[in-house]
Amino acid sequence: MKFIFMLIVAAAFSQPSKAWLADKVHVSHSAISGSQAILWVTRDAGLFKKHDLDPQIVFVSGGPPNIAALVSGDLDFTVFAGPASVAANLEGADTIVLMSFINTMEHTFITRPDIKKPADLKGKRFGVARPGAADDYGVRVALKKWGLEADKDVAFLGVGSQPSRLAALQAGRVDGVLLQPPFTVKARQEGLNELAFLSDLGLDYLGTCLAATRQTIQRKENITRRFVRAFMEGVVFYKTQKEASIQSISKFTKLKDRPALEEAYDTYASKFMPRIPYPSIKGVETILEDLGKTNPKARGADPRRFVEPRFLQELEDKGVIAQLYRH
């Protein structure tokens, strides 16, 4: 936890001085991907500032370190894939999902050019972020549907972030990876193969989520309410302000390639991000079903215990969201 705290302190000192009085909010993201660019879009549009919030943003890779930082109070919020929050809650943490910006798995299987069909993956190495990460889970689900056995027919190697996974594939360290836009375009440009799309499997899921702990929500309810509203306005901005959003995606991913940025924008703003990012109950059920294979605590658990939609519900009930989309 000392490491996480140092990251947050470093981020705080690296921020330019603010002329307005705002509540500092410590928030992390777990991946460099188009799906998590909503955090940058919202920040760059000035929507956190509009609601008197000063986000101190840090990158913390993987679910477990983010969960630990949430539970310890080093972080107020995190943007990551939902399974980590569900699993931690089952084990007694008070983690909760407030918003879900992606309610399916939208990754693409990217492989060496000679791998033409799923059966060709047998005996190959697959690069994932880390064991238990969202892409690790997605690969295992797909392999099962294709009649392949994870860890037996296909080996797994943890290689880190999407840029690292793409580099590992290009270097021949692995034979396949899962990528999201905009890195899918870069992979195509490098002559790599798009083997399959996880979205074709029709999985309900909690993809990119905003999570916190119930303790944080209770102690900082007003901040949480404003934070959720800023993100809701960010979703509307993302869907309606293409050029500004593309600039934010470029800044976040450090990519300048216009086709790649266009694909990332179109994938998330138009195709996968819901108008109102309620956490998907069906997505929680999918995660619980998977966890239930090894964790009896997941069997029969009420999926509603893992989400807290009331802040979004307030905005919808008051007509705020409808008003945002009218402008």
The rounded distance, in Å, linking the Cα atoms of 289 and 291 is: 6
pLDDT digits (tens, 9 = 90+) for 91-132: 999 999 999 999 998 889 999 999 999 999 999 999 998 887
Provide the 8-state DSSP code for 53. Answer: E
Give the pLDDT confidence of 40-98 residue by residue, as tens digits.
999 999 999 999 999 999 999 888 899 999 999 999 999 999 999 999 999 999 999 99
The C-alpha R_g of the chain, in whole angstroms, comes to 19
Residue 16 scores a pLDDT above 50: no
State the Cα–Cα distance between residues 265 and 71, nearest whole angstrom. 33
Q: Which architecture characterizes domain 2-10+18-104+205-326 according to CATH? A: 3-Layer(aba) Sandwich (3.40)
CATH 3.40.190.10 positions along the chain are: 2-10+18-104+205-326, 108-200
Q: pLDDT of 204-226, one tens digit each? A: 899 899 999 999 999 999 999 99
- 55's CB contacts (< 8 A; 6+ apart) are 24, 25, 26, 27, 43, 48
Helix, strand, or coil (residue 79): strand
The fourth-level CATH superfamily of domain 108-200 is Periplasmic binding protein-like II (3.40.190.10)
